[in-house]
Amino acid sequence: MAYKLDPAAPLDAEFRRIAGEQLRRAERVLVAPDGDPNAAVHEARKRLKKLRGLTRLVRDARPAFHAKENARYRDLARSLSGARDSGALVEALDRLADHYGAEVAPAVFEHVRSELMARREAATTRDLGPAIEAAARSLGAARHKLDGFVIAPKDRAGNAATIIAEGFARTHARARSALATARKEGDDEALHELRKRVKYHWMHLRLIAPLWPDAIAPLTKAAKAIADGLGLDHDYSVMRQEIAATPEAFGTPRELAVLAALIDRRQAELRAAALDTARRLLADDPDGVRKRVKRLYRAGPVRGASDPGAPVASPLEVLRQAE
Query: Could you list the pLDDT tens digit for every one of the 323 residues in the chain?
Result: 689 999 999 999 999 999 999 999 999 999 987 877 778 888 999 999 999 999 999 999 999 999 999 999 999 998 887 656 777 899 999 999 999 988 998 888 999 999 999 988 887 666 577 888 899 999 999 999 999 999 877 655 558 999 999 999 999 999 999 999 999 999 999 999 999 999 999 999 999 999 999 999 999 999 999 999 999 999 999 999 999 999 999 999 999 999 999 999 999 999 999 999 999 999 999 999 999 999 999 998 887 644 444 444 444 444 444 44
Whether 260 is covered by a domain: the verdict is yes
Whether 266 is covered by a domain: the verdict is yes
Give the count of domains, the chain: 1
Whether 142 is covered by a domain: the verdict is yes
Whether 5 is covered by a domain: the verdict is no
CA pair distance 292, 10, nearest whole angstrom: 20
Virtual torsion, Cα 47, 78, 136, 69, nearest 10 deg? -70
How much is the pLDDT for 84? 60
How much is the pLDDT for 116? 94
How much is the pLDDT for 156? 55
Supply the CATH number for residue 118's domain.
1.40.20.10
Whether 285 is covered by a domain: the verdict is yes
Q: In a 10 Å sphere around its CB, with 0-12 CB exposed, 13-18 middle and 19+ buried, how is residue 89 labelled?
A: buried
Whether 187 is covered by a domain: the verdict is yes
How much is the pLDDT for 47? 96
CA pair distance 323, 319, nearest whole angstrom: 6
Nearest to 233 by CA among 287, 273, 201, 184: 273
Whether 136 is covered by a domain: the verdict is yes
CA pair distance 56, 50, nearest whole angstrom: 10
Whether 157 is covered by a domain: the verdict is yes
How much is the pLDDT for 126? 64
Range of the domain at 117: 11-303+311-322
